[in-house]
Amino acid sequence: MSETPDPADPARLCEEARRLAETGEPERAAALFQKVLDLGGTPHRAQAALGLAVVLDDRGDVEAAREADRDAIATGDPEYGPRAAYHLALTHERAGEHVLAGPAWRVVVDFGNPAYLPPALLALARLADDEDDFETARGHWEDAVGTGDAEYGPVAAHDLAQRLLERGEPARALRILTAGLKLVDREAAPYAYARLAVTLGIAYLDQAIGAFGAALGEPGAAADADVGPLAVELLARTLPLRGRGAEAREVWGRGLADSGVAGQVRARLRRDFAADDEDAAGTEPADLWWEPVVEHAVAEGTLPALAGEAFGALDHMYALLAVRYARNAEGEPAPPGSGSGDPRSDAAREADQAMGQAVRVPSGYAWGPLLHESFAERLRAAMGGPDSSPPPGWPDAEPVAET
């Protein structure tokens, strides 16, 4: 009677199958993994089933791969079971089958393996969030942060904080963001740190907005004479940072309409108008005709548009004046029949002098050189080439005397 040969060593078969898979022989690897499974309930069954699932998935046989994953999960193996559930969930996620991925992620969580728990919790949170189930999502996000995982914990903290801010809960967002920041190594993960830090700053802004609004009270209520104007300014200047410009306009309008604090609110609205300075003629800036226009633009949040309109008009008018002045400075021939000496009429000389004074006005402003460059470019375009440039010392030099 012949002796029955010993069964193959499953550990050796799994190792050989892994090597074959890594060296590009998936068919032979699959056959060896299947051979281990055919041996029955060996301690290496879960490992072989997961290995087979990965090989089959790489070959495009997704359904067979999922069956192998389920076989590995069924063993209850604490290492390969959660790995197989993780792989199974990924196959569903990749196919857009998010509803089917959910149960697989829950299996990962049930295993409790710390290596796979954080991504599973994060995935479940996002699935619940997609279904508008905030409370379930919040629980998963908080659990993900609670794992202390440096990769997935900060992501969960950021996602939860975003939702809390959207729901008007900045204090809770601050707490979860602070916990998330403690998990991040700033040197090793600067992007993750910066992402959380910016969101933390936003949470502080939202808290500030709530505090300033509380100081003002309900719309229609009279503002406190001592802190009301300050609260109006702080709230109106902070709201646009959160994209709430329309609310900022309402806050300025509310303060200006409150007779008890309107004067102080207007002074704060105009704090950047250099109201303490006087011009050369001794005119107070408060008397300048454009200041109400600027004040309205500040209150409405349209100051950039107003500046664009003003600079556009200035650029156009400056060019019209400066072209004539530049021609005179180059010694353009005077009209015929003017007589001896200065051939121009008094009116022409006065006009040239006025134009000279006009084109020198912007020289002392910070934006003056930019306006001069704009004119020089216009002049080159109008005169037909790069050699058509303003005269030397433009625009402060006197025109060249005509002969």
CATH number at residue 91: 1.25.40.10
- 350 plus 286 within the same structural domain: no
For residues 32 and 100, membership in a common domain is answered with yes
Amino acid at 367: W
Q: Are residues 297 and 355 in the same domain?
A: no
Task: Say if residue 160 is exposed, middle or buried (CB neighbours under 10 Å; 0-12, 13-18, 19+).
Answer: buried
CB burial of 165-193 (b: ≥16 within 10 Å; e: otherwise) equals beeebbebbbebbebbbebbeeeebeebb
**What pLDDT does 398 receive?**
58
Domain boundary pick from 243, 278, 301:
301
Same-domain check for residues 370 and 279: no
Q: Which helix (H) or strand (E) holds 99?
A: helix 98-111
Identity of the residue numbered 122: L
Q: List the domain range (segments joined by +) for residue 227.
A: 217-301
Task: Say if 30 falls within a structural domain.
Answer: yes
Please indicate, yes or no, if residue 57 is contained in any of the structural domains.
yes
Q: Are 266 and 284 in contact (CB under 8 A)?
A: no
* pLDDT at res. 402: 46
**CA nearest 325: which of 392, 390, 383?**
390
For tokens 């700033």, name the residue.
186
Q: How far apart, in whole angstroms, are the C-alpha atoms of residue 395 and residue 390? A: 8
Instruction: Decide if 169 contacts 157 (C-beta within 8 A).
Output: no
**Whether residue 257 sits in one domain with residue 355:** no
| Cα gap 338→345, rounded to integer Å | 7
CB 238 within 8 A of CB 205: yes
| 403 and 317 both lie in a single domain | yes
Q: Is residue 80 part of a domain?
A: yes
Q: How many domains does the chain have?
A: 3
Do 258 and 297 share a structural domain?
A: yes
Whether 275 and 361 share a structural domain: no
What number of other Cβ atoms are within 10 A of residue 246's Cβ? 11
Residues 288 and 378 both lie in one domain = no
For the chain, list residues with pLDDT below 50: 1-6, 277-285, 332-340, 400-403
Q: How far is CA 10 from the centre of its chain?
A: 54
Cβ contact 358:321 at 8 Å: yes
Q: What is the pLDDT of residue 103?
A: 97
Cβ proximity of 192 and 177 under 8 Å: no
Inside any domain, residue 199 = no
- On whether both 28 and 103 belong to a single domain, the answer is yes
Instruction: Give domain status of residue 152, yes or no.
Output: no
Shared-domain flag, residues 357 and 391: yes
Report pLDDT for 356.
74
Both 288 and 322 in a single domain? no
Q: What's the token pair of residue 155? A: 């992501």
Residue 2 lies in a domain: no
190, part of any domain: no
Closest among 78, 77, 71, 75 to 54, alpha carbons compared = 71
pLDDT at 353: 74
Q: Which of 83, 113, 143 is the last residue of a domain?
A: 113
- Specify the 3-state DSSP secondary structure of 42: coil
pLDDT value of position 322: 78
Task: Determine, yes or no, domain membership for 269.
Answer: yes
Find the largest Cα–Cα distance for the chain: 143
Please name the residues in contact with 172: beta carbons below 8 A apart, sequence gap of 6 or more: 164
The whole-angstrom separation of Cα 326 and Cα 46 is 89
* Closest-CA residue to 394 (of 378, 6, 403, 153): 378
The CA R_g of the chain, rounded to the nearest whole Å, is 38
Q: Within 13 Å, how many C-alpha atoms sit on residue 214's CB side?
A: 6
Tell which of 53, 86, 113 closes a domain: 113
Q: Torsion over CA of 111, 115, 119 and 122, rounded to 10 degrees?
A: 70
Q: How confident is the model at residue 399, as a pLDDT?
A: 52
* pLDDT given for residue 395 in this prediction: 74
Q: Is the CB of residue 129 less than 8 Å from the CB of residue 163?
A: yes
Secondary structure of residue 190 in the 3-state scheme: helix
Q: Which two structure tokens, joined as six digits, stand for 320?
A: 């019209």
